[in-house]
């Protein structure tokens, strides 16, 4: 039996994203100041695409890690989400920001003659990334297979056309 990937819908909207939940995060302000300090000394030309958007929250710290890869015709975002059901995932694009949200709820009961065990696990996460210039947001696709979410962010035809290899001269 072959596993098939589940296609997920990518929602797009032009309204501002919700501000992150506030709370007491003692190291978050320090992290933001250090990030700002490095941003001040780094020319915009060298900044990484997909830098996390402003307004990070504690949820982003506990969210699963993602891989960001630039290919010839698209960027690809992959996240390992074992045990998560595709119905608990949401991928959204708003104001040039890609947001991946997920929630897991699991109830487990084990009733035996001598004992009874009931466990509940739940949690939610949200990761947001500012998209690099030249992504065709109308053609973004997401799929989920074997616990791995893959989001394909195609480059616009103009960006692909303007790309060329630069020869390196020795000497």
Beta bridge partners of 11: 92
So what CATH class is 7-14+50-161?
Answer: mainly beta
Please give the structure tokens belonging to residue 129.
């990334």
- Tell me phi and psi for residue 122, to 5 degrees: -155, 160
Query: What is the distance between the alpha carbons of residues 13 and 35, in angstroms, rounded to a whole number?
Result: 28
Tens digit of pLDDT for each residue in 72-130? 889 999 998 887 888 889 999 998 899 999 887 777 888 888 888 887 777 788 888 89
Beta bridge partners of 80: 148
Tens digit of pLDDT for each residue in 23-49? 566 777 778 778 777 666 655 444 455
| Interior angle at CA 44, CA 38 and CA 47, nearest 5 | 65
pTM (2 d.p.): 0.57
| β-strands 10-13, 89-94 pairing | parallel
| β-strands 116-130, 74-80 pairing | unpaired
Tens digit of pLDDT for each residue in 121-160? 777 888 888 998 889 989 999 999 988 999 999 988 887 7
For the chain, give every domain's residue range: 7-14+50-161
- Max distance between CA atoms of the chain, in angstroms, equals 81
Handedness of CA 75, 81, 85, 90 (dihedral sign): negative
């Amino acid at each position: 039996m072959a596993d098939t990937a589940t296609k997920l819908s990518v929602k797009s909207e032009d309204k501002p994203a919700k501000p992150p939940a506030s709370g007491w995060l003692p190291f978050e302000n320090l992290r933001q100041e250090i990030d700002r300090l490095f941003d001040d000394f780094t020319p915009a030309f060298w900044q990484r695409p997909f830098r996390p958007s402003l307004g990070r929250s504690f949820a982003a710290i506990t969210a699963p890690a993602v891989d960001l890869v630039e290919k010839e015709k698209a960027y690809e975002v992959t996240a390992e989400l074992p045990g998560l059901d595709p119905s608990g995932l949401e991928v959204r694009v708003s104001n040039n920001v890609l947001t991946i949200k997920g929630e897991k709820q699991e109830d487990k009961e084990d009733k035996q003659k001598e004992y009874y065990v009931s466990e509940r696990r739940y949690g939610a996460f949200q990761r947001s990334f500012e998209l690099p210039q030249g992504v065709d947001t109308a053609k973004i696709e997401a799929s989920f297979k074997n616990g791995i979410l893959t989001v394909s962010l195609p480059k616009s035809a103009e960006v692909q056309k303007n790309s060329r290899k630069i020869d390196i001269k020795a000497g």
